[in-house]
Chain A
Amino acid sequence: MASSTPTATTLFRRLCWDGTVPIEVKIDSKELPAGSDRTLESFYIRAPRVSYLPLLIQEVKTFLFDLVLDEASAKDMKTDDWWFEAEGGALLKWHWPVGLLYDLHLVAHPAPDFQMKPFTIILHLASPPTDKLLFTPSIETCKQSFMGQLKEADFLRWGNTKRVTSLRKEDQDGLWEGIVEHNFDDFWRIASKIAPSPNPLAPPLTPNPSSPTLPAPSSRPASTQPPSGSDRDNAYSVRSVPVRIYLPDGPVIQDLVPPFLEDGLPHSLSLFLSAQLPLLFKPSPTSSLSPVDPNAPKSNLAFALIQGVIAPLDCEMAWLGACMSGADGWVNVCIGLEK
C-alpha cells in the first residue's frame, strides 16, 4: 500500500486500477482447421483495463487447444501468428492497454445509452498484418514497450528518465509483474516512486494531507522516503503532463501539456481540447490567450472519455496526470462525437 500517497490520490488510482473489461473472444471460424469442434464459438474473459492482449493469450490458448482444436492441429498452431480485431474491423494493437482498446471501440461504436456489453474481439489465427501491428504477441516485447512508455512519460514530466532508470531491476520487473498479476499494492508500491502526486499547494480546494495531528503510519520505511519530497514529485511542477488524444479511427495527438498556462491558471481539459481540437471543442470561457477562431463551434461537438468515463471538462491536466493515468503513466483521452 502506498502509504505516503494522499488517500484521495490512492482512491482514484485504485478506482482506475480496478477497472475490468468483459471480453468475448470469437474465433474466426473460417480460419479454424478441419477437425475442430465448432460447438463453442466464443470464449469469455474478464481482463483488467491495465492489462495487454498478449497477457490474455495463454488463457485463450488453453481454451482453444483443449476444447476446439484436435490434437494434430493443436500441435501445428503457432500463437505468433495470432492477432485480434475488434468487431467492426479495427485492428487491436498488442502494445496498447486493454482499457484503451475498449475505450477507443466505445467512442468509435457507441452503444445506445452506453449500455454495457462485452467487448467482442475476433481472434485470427493466421496472416497477421505485421506492418500495422508492428509487434509480435510476445509478452517480453510487450513489457519492453511498456517500459518504453513509462520512460517516455517520465522524460516528458521531468526532462530525464532518472526516476525509472534508478529503480532496481527487481522493481522494474515488479512493475510489470504487478500488471500481469493485476495486483494493485505490488504495482503502486513501486509506481508511486515514479508517479507524481497532486500536492496540496496548487489545487486550492484540496486540503493539506499532512495534518500535524496525523500520526505517521508505522509501515512507512523512514529511510526511503524524503519527509517533504512533495515538490520534487508534485504533479503541478512537471514540465509537461503525458497526455495523448485518440480520435475515433484517426490519428493520435500528443503535445506538450504544461500544468499551468501563461496566465498562471491551471491548465484544464477544456483549454487543452479546445486548443488541440478547435473544430470540435468550443473555446473555453476562461481562455483569454488565443484569439477566437471564427470556425470554432458554439457548443462542444465531442466528448472526452478517460479511463472509460466521460471526463468533466474543468478537470485540471496535472491532476489527471497524477490520478487518472494508466499504468504506463499516460493519460489517454479518447474523443467521441456527441450525437
Chain B
Amino acid sequence: MEGAEALETYKKKDAAKVVVRFKAVGNAPIMKQNFYKITAANRFQAVIQFLRKELGWKTGDPLFTYINLAFSPAPDDTVANLYKSFATEGHLIVNYSTTAAWG
C-alpha cells in the first residue's frame, strides 16, 4: 500500500522551528522577551498556553490572541500553517489582549 505509506510520511511531525513575536495590545502586560522560537508542528493552543505561562495567567483569566491584529486562529491549527500563510518578515506576529479586541 504505497498510499498508506505516503500518508504516514505526512503524519510525521516537522521538527523545524519558526520565530513567533508577541505583541501586547491595550493594557495587556508586556513580556520581557518578545521573540520565541517555537516548533512549527505545535498547535496554536500550545502557543496560547505558553503565553499564559509566561504572563503568569491563571486558568480562567481572560486572554485573547490574534494574528496580525486581525483574527483569532483556531487553536488546533498548527503554527506551521499559520506561519506559512501569515508570517511577516520571517515572524509570526501574535497579538494578545485581556479584552476581546477584534471579536
Q: List A residues at the B interface (Cβ < 8 Å).
A: 93, 95, 134-135, 144-145, 147-149, 151-152, 154-156, 160-161, 165, 240, 244, 247-256, 277, 279-280, 297, 301-302, 337-338
Contact = CB atoms under 8 A, between A and B. Distances in A.
B70 A255 contact: no
Contacts of B82: 254
B15 interface: no
Interface string B9-45: 1110000000000000000000000000000000001
Contacts of B73: 148, 152
B68 interface: yes
Contact of B85 (A165, A250, A256, A338): A256
A114 to B, nearest CB: 17
Contacts of B72: 144, 148, 151
9 contacts: A151-B72, A152-B67, A152-B73, A240-B85, A251-B78, A252-B77, A252-B78, A277-B10, A337-B7
B12 to A, nearest CB: 9
| Interchain residue pairs A-B with the least CB separation, the first 9 | A151-B71, A279-B6, A301-B3, A254-B81, A337-B3, A148-B72, A134-B75, A161-B70, A152-B71
A179 B85 CA distance: 27
Contacts of B67: 152, 155
B103 interface: yes
B3 A302 contact: yes
B60 to A, nearest CB: 13
Given A152-B67, A255-B84, A280-B7, 4 more contacts: A135-B75, A144-B103, A148-B74, A244-B81
Nearest to B8: A250
A247 B74 contact: no
Interface of B: 1-7, 9-11, 45, 67-68, 70-78, 81-82, 84-86, 102-103
A279 B10 contact: yes
A256 B84 CA distance: 7
A250 B2 contact: no
Nearest to B2: A301
A254 B74 CA distance: 13
A247 B2 contact: no
A155 B68 contact: yes
Contacts of B70: 151, 155, 160-161
Given A252-B81, A253-B81, A149 B74 contact: yes
A134 B70 CA distance: 21
B4 to A, nearest CB: 7
Contacts of B11: 247, 249-251
A151 B102 contact: yes
A154 B6 CA distance: 32
Nearest to A134: B75
A240 B67 CA distance: 17
A134 B78 contact: no
Nearest to A150: B71
B69 to A, nearest CB: 9
Nearest to A276: B10
A279 B10 CA distance: 9
A134 to B, nearest CB: 5
A176 to B, nearest CB: 13
A260 to B, nearest CB: 18
Contacts of B6: 277, 279-280, 297, 301-302
Instruction: Give the most central of A152, A160, A165: most B CB within 10 Å.
Output: A152
B71 A161 contact: yes
B85 A156 contact: yes
A134 B45 contact: yes
A254 B85 contact: yes
B103 A147 contact: yes
Contacts of B78: 251-252
Nearest to B43: A134
Contacts of A256: 84-85
B62 to A, nearest CB: 13
Contacts of A152: 67, 71, 73
Contacts of A244: 81
